[in-house]
Amino acid sequence: MERVDVSILGREYSLACLPAEKEALLAAVRLVDQRMLAIKGAAKVVGNERIAVMAAIQIAGELLRMRAPDGPLANVAVGDFKRKIEDMHTMLDQVVGLPAQSR
């Protein structure tokens, strides 16, 4: 595990993650921090806890819409989605003439 120091809404946190997951963790932290800053600025919400809850609800709502039966990822398992992307990468590599790369 790797220790990662981050800042969310001006407050410092020390998190642990696998080295391979560090970039995804930092992207998630940026999303949460941006969402919380936007809520704090737009809604004039007082209290970091309320801001965090509102941000969590917004992000969860977006996730649920993506998973909705009529959403863009309806009936697609994550593994299938990843496999399709890998297949597209392989086809593009073949068209461009690059050797296949392990992903």
The domain limits of the chain are 2-72
Confidence at 65, pLDDT banded by 50, 70, 90:
confident
Confidence at 86, pLDDT banded by 50, 70, 90:
confident
pLDDT for res 7: 95
Please enumerate in sequence order all residues whose Cβ is within 8 A of that of 30, keeping only pairs 6 or more positions apart, or say none: none
pLDDT at 47 over 60: yes
pLDDT at 81 over 80: no
CA 89 to CA 82: how far, in whole Å?
A: 11
pLDDT for res 74: 67
Average pLDDT, the chain: 83
pLDDT for res 64: 79
Residue 34: alpha-carbon gap to chain centroid = 12
Query: Which two structure tokens, joined as six digits, stand for 53?
Result: 């809850």
